[in-house]
Amino acid sequence: MKIFFCGACREVTGSCILVETEKIKFIVDCGLFQDDKSKMKNSYSFGFDPSEIDFVLLTHAHTDHCGRLPKLYKEGFRGNIYCTPVTIDLSEQMMIDSAKVFLSDDNINPIYFPLDVEKTMTCFSPVPYGQDYSINKEVRIKLSDAGHILGSAIFEVWIKDGKNEKKLVFSGDLGNSPAPIVKDTEFVNGADVVFIESTYGTKTHMSRELGRSKLKESIVEVIKDKGTLVIPVFALERTQEIIFELKNIFKNENVKEIPVFLDSPLAVRVTDIYRRYSNYFDEEVKKLVGKKDDLFYFDGFKMTRKKGDSLGFSRLSNPKIVLAGSGMCNGGRVLDHLKKNLPIANNRVLIISFQVEGSLGRKLAEGAKEVIIGEKKVKVRANVSKIEAFSSHADFPRLLAWIRKIKNPSPKNVFVIHGEEDLSVDVAKVLKSDLGLNAIVPEYGKVYEV
């Protein structure tokens, strides 16, 4: 059986893995490259013929996992794309957004258009969690909750390879459990080959309790200073989680409620999908929904659904909070909010998401005193701080706990993917030294035999 890596090797974005036996060819994820260093790879050939791919397994709806699917379709793929039902709806929104971003940027050649997304949607095929599902005579799969974003799945894949059957496990992105909306990450037992993410390398996250108190502290400070608190957010999961946390702080923590504004039409659409799929929420939160509490709404909360909403909010007097995308500040409406608020000392910026190398968010998190937004130099006088507690990715103790449970059998090979090179290498070293696993950090465009 051959494994070919077409992205997210020694880097975080562009997830795409080809699995090939004598009888079948399928890929797991088909994501967009999103950091400046590797964006050009989006227009490269996949390195395989998309028309020969039998099917796709999609772990979740983040753009770095689903964002090249319309390119795959455009280049001849006509098979099924298997994922959870909520991933279908969320992926549609994420891919439409990517197509719009391509069209709005004069510096990039669109790799697909909104119409290609529409055609790609005809390939999606829902698979529920927890059921054995036969794709054909060669392959069966089972999805478990990865606890990363709503609908995210770990794929167990049993494949006939000649007379033998091999079991491959794809972690997708693993969650930072326990998280307030999604369920906890599930464990799987036994594999021949494991593909594991390594976004945070060997780091340990700040506890969620400490993260909550730091978020509360930032709100209290911004109220005292009569400033604006800007929180760059990813439209998917981080936005919903932060709305939930803010609601909780205002309701239960004795903090004066101030206006909160979500300036991201994509995040508003995603939040509507979250409301529709409340049956996927974890049990504690389900009880609140059962009591007819809207998790994503409180009195001072406003959203941009149409043009002009944004203007109305910017006229509101301080203190206030703005949530806007993109989460890594490499585009989107957050740029306008940063341009306006960074030069003023009584404002605050809170970085709560993963920041890829070279992104504006990374520069701010690392303490830049001046940044360039668009063509403009912007002085950073606002207080910028970072909270990693709200990450939707597992940290190293969680990764280790997850892989330790894969015992019957223990994997012969573990591919460490979806991490910056030095972080993936660090993870592989510990997997080798502490767990005795044959951990490999694969290379983009290379074929491995398993």
Q: Which residues bind Zn ion (CB under 5 A)?
A: 62, 173
- Shortest distance in whole angstroms from residue 62 CB to Zn ion: 3
Which residue lies nearer to Zn ion by CB, 58 or 322? Answer: 58
Strands, E, within 287-380: which ranges? 301-303, 320-324, 348-351, 370-373, 376-379
- Shortest distance in whole angstroms from residue 329 CB to Zn ion: 18
Which residue lies nearer to Zn ion by CB, 147 or 265? Answer: 147
Which residue lies nearer to Zn ion by CB, 97 or 173? Answer: 173
Structure tokens at 394: 């597992």
- Shortest distance in whole angstroms from residue 384 CB to Zn ion: 24
Which residue lies nearer to Zn ion by CB, 87 or 218? Answer: 87
- Kind and range of the H or E element at 213? helix 208-224
Integer-rounded Cα Rg, in Å, for the chain is 22
- Shortest distance in whole angstroms from residue 232 CB to Zn ion: 17
Residues 156 and 144: beta-carbon distance below 8 Å: yes
Which residue lies nearer to Zn ion by CB, 195 or 250? Answer: 195
Contacts of 261 (CB under 8 A, 6+ apart): 301, 302, 303, 304, 313, 316, 320, 321, 322, 323
Rounded to an integer, what distance in angstroms lies between the CA atom of residue 340 and that of residue 320? 14
Rounded to an integer, what distance in angstroms lies between the CA atom of residue 241 and that of residue 219? 16
- Shortest distance in whole angstroms from residue 59 CB to Zn ion: 8
Structure tokens at 172: 């997708």
Distances (CA, A) of 351 to 221, 436, 437: 16, 36, 35
Which residue lies nearer to Zn ion by CB, 173 or 241? Answer: 173
The residue among 308, 309, 311, 307 whose CA lies nearest residue 340 is 311
- Shortest distance in whole angstroms from residue 317 CB to Zn ion: 37
Residue 9 CB neighbours (<10 A): 23
Rounded to an integer, what distance in angstroms lies between the CA atom of residue 267 and that of residue 175? 20
Which residue lies nearer to Zn ion by CB, 62 or 142? Answer: 62
- Shortest distance in whole angstroms from residue 148 CB to Zn ion: 6
